[in-house]
Structure 1
């Protein structure tokens, strides 16, 4: 486990630069960013100017596209474990810092899809401008009418007609689709619904955002937050027509693509969540040690329950971090599929940890913790969302339970062998 703490000299340098950038540039810009988001319908048309300033500085510092691990020639050459240390820092300012260094969802996952599975033409047309931060993208999988936690349920049709695919479907919670810079969707649907293998029915196709037949109906809200200008939108695809060259990897390989995409993406969310938790703990400590805030004659930190809460927060954050680092390390040593167990554990543990930490901090802040004066309420909305996004807790727990229970026969065999050995030892001892 000690190796999980080690960073290469290059990663240490990036860590120092990124920490300074987030603390001295992104954090002070957080309020400016929110003030520059448009009002009314303009929320979906205006890009806060401060973001382009931050992106330019991040590029100049070499803090750009850090997420794309060293297996890709297009990336900066970092491991997933190294990126975990860096990604955590950006989680301290989740609305600003990830995008400022071009490492925000859903673009990271989509860029990885293009890098891993895209043709040279697809990479040139979409991966290059995405990596340059010139455009944004969306991933359209979740559907309005079915339980999408089981992706075999999706009903969007991808029908081949001659040299084109015709797409019809009703999606929602499509992150990034409200952004005026969103120029491309990756759409998952069924191209072979009669295939006996339910995991070979699905395909993923590239759909330019300006293709006729796409109707962005509305942005969805999470506890009242619409996350403009990116948004999480409800969309209808009606007879949307794209060339067959827009297929990703091949027909019937949609599940293969999403498994390659979701593994690293799930762990990126967990990395950022650790950063959010650290900032939350700092806000908590600042609040409860403030000498001007007293209840019953004592500062808050002098109350035993508050002090105990701080200790528990520290313990839970550190434990969650270790699990995230272990999962990132496992991805490096195997791949996303080989690290499925570790990713699932982190995906369940970390958002729940963050939610508990935020709840304690909000309680210590009183009514202020629920207000716009602190980031805690927005953080809480994000934490609660993560327990559903990229697979709900129950799916990951079920998967983990199945893997653990498969060990039953081996454990029983070991127990039986131990009992036989114990009887042998007892019999031998009785003769002495």
Structure 2
């Protein structure tokens, strides 16, 4: 395994870091102020469009797509350090058109979409003109096991009729979110449980679709939002199906592998930024006659944080390398590991930084409280920690049994 950055990646890292330092971090307050002045928590602040134009002009655009036709042609390992840099500021990924869930949605449009679907939806997504939603999770059922999903998609002639509720559909609270990829039951009686569901495309303005409400994250309202959707006899043509009928699980797995790498590296980026803030505070503030940085407990916070971040980074690099060189299936154990480790590091490091900042750390005067809430959410996004731990343990036990049988 060689994790050394190529010349191409080093140049992109340099440009991206410089862009973040020059334009993104100094505009954090502008971003928040423009939203506050609008009176709409889901207002699309002009600073985003301004920075998107700058990023695109500098070639920092669609970096996540491995396909040269649509994106930068980077491998998962090459993109990983770039995702980490973007993760320093929660909303910055959108500036580079590398924001979830659009990244995963664009990937499956490129892989499974028809030419008409690509023209209608993928092209404007690649241009950053619209946003998209991924509607899978449902209220009232344990969606960590997607077999439980009860949302129905019934075929009637040349149409599908959709009924049910979805929630935690990221991006849906903004009007810019124009298309939803919706997963639901099309063949509930299929004895093969993983071949019961289908994905269909539902435009935002389709009759019967209601964006019911936004869901806050531990009291924080995210700008792009996480919405609950209601579908009441929503009709779309069969041509809106994404991929084959009853193949939603296969498509979702194709989407989730790279997406988990992205999530984890953004969490590592957030933790790295929190560590920087922690060190800054520790070297500037004094208590009991000495700098905070001179106290053993603070030194322990700093050292433990650096160790955890480096461990998580290297483990994520290994998962990305395995996906690139051997395949997604071979990387399943590593992906499960990083999906548990990265949120832990995110919340652990931010929590320490909050402690070093004291009362200011839990106020709106630093980004730390919001960063911690986002990190806490990451323990659930793309499957809760417990599901990944269970899958990892079962895989290791199975491998040991097979080895013993040989």
Would you say same fold, with TM above 0.5?
A: yes
In structure 2, what is the Cα distance between the partners aligned to 1:261 and 1:64?
Answer: 20
Equivalent positions of 1:102-113 (< 5 A) are: 102-113=97-108
Q: Is the 8 A contact 1:259 1:337 kept in 2?
A: no
1:121 counterpart residue number: 116
- Which of 278, 295, 303 is residue 287 of structure 2 equivalent to? 295
Q: Is the 8 A contact 1:143 1:154 kept in 2?
A: yes
For 1:122, what is the secondary structure of its paired residue? Answer: helix
Q: 1:408 to 1:207 in 2, by over 3 A?
A: same
Q: Deviations over 1:367-405 (max 9, x none)?
A: 111011111111101111010110000110000001111
In structure 1, what is the Cα distance between the partners aligned to 2:94 and 2:287?
Answer: 41
- Which of 186, 189, 200 is residue 191 of structure 1 equivalent to? 186
Q: Which runs of 5+ in 1 are unaligned?
A: 415-432
| Mapped pair 1:33 → 2:31 | yes
| Mapped pair 1:62 → 2:54 | no
Q: Deviations over 1:192-244 (max 9, x none)?
A: 1111111000000000111011111110011111102x100111000000000
| Mapped pair 1:278 → 2:275 | no
| CA displacement at 1:73 relative to structure 2 | 2.5
2:230 counterpart residue number: 236
Equivalent positions of 1:74-153 (< 5 A) are: 74-95=70-91, 97-153=92-148
Which entry has the higher C-alpha Rg, 1 or 2? 1
2:245 counterpart residue number: 251
Equivalent positions of 1:350-365 (< 5 A) are: 350-365=342-357
In structure 2, what is the Cα distance between the partners aligned to 1:34 and 1:363?
Answer: 24
1:425 counterpart residue number: none
Q: Is the 8 A contact 2:209 2:231 kept in 1?
A: yes
| CA displacement at 1:63 relative to structure 2 | 0.3
| CA displacement at 1:139 relative to structure 2 | 0.3
| Mapped pair 1:408 → 2:405 | no
| Mapped pair 1:260 → 2:254 | yes
User: How many equivalent residue pairs?
Assistant: 406
In structure 1, what is the Cα distance between the partners aligned to 2:130 and 2:78?
Answer: 26
| CA displacement at 1:410 relative to structure 2 | 5.1
| CA displacement at 1:408 relative to structure 2 | 2.8
- Which of 310, 313, 327 is residue 318 of structure 1 equivalent to? 310
In structure 2, what is the Cα distance between the partners aligned to 1:123 and 1:26?
Answer: 31
2:48 counterpart residue number: 51
2:161 counterpart residue number: 166
| Mapped pair 1:207 → 2:202 | yes
TM-score by length of 1: 0.92
| CA displacement at 1:308 relative to structure 2 | 1.2
2:14 counterpart residue number: 16
Q: Is the 8 A contact 2:182 2:200 kept in 1?
A: yes
In structure 1, what is the Cα distance between the partners aligned to 2:279 and 2:41?
Answer: 34
1:368 counterpart residue number: 360
In structure 2, what is the Cα distance between the partners aligned to 1:226 and 1:42?
Answer: 11
TM-score by length of 2: 0.98
For 2:242, what is the secondary structure of its paired residue? Answer: coil
CA RMSD in angstroms comes to 1.3
For 1:408, what is the secondary structure of its paired residue? Answer: helix
1:329 counterpart residue number: 321
| Mapped pair 1:395 → 2:387 | yes
Q: Is the 8 A contact 1:263 1:337 kept in 2?
A: no
| CA displacement at 1:412 relative to structure 2 | 4.6
Q: Deviations over 1:140-197 (max 9, x none)?
A: 0000111100000001100000000000011111110011111100000001111111
| CA displacement at 1:345 relative to structure 2 | 0.5
Q: Is the 8 A contact 1:259 1:336 kept in 2?
A: no
Q: Deviations over 1:36-80 (max 9, x none)?
A: 115686333x3100000100000100000000014x532221111
In structure 1, what is the Cα distance between the partners aligned to 2:291 and 2:5?
Answer: 39
- Which of 149, 152, 155 is residue 154 of structure 1 equivalent to? 149
Q: Is the 8 A contact 2:271 2:350 kept in 1?
A: yes
For 1:66, what is the secondary structure of its paired residue? Answer: coil
| CA displacement at 1:335 relative to structure 2 | 2.9
| CA displacement at 1:337 relative to structure 2 | 2.7
| CA displacement at 1:340 relative to structure 2 | 1.3
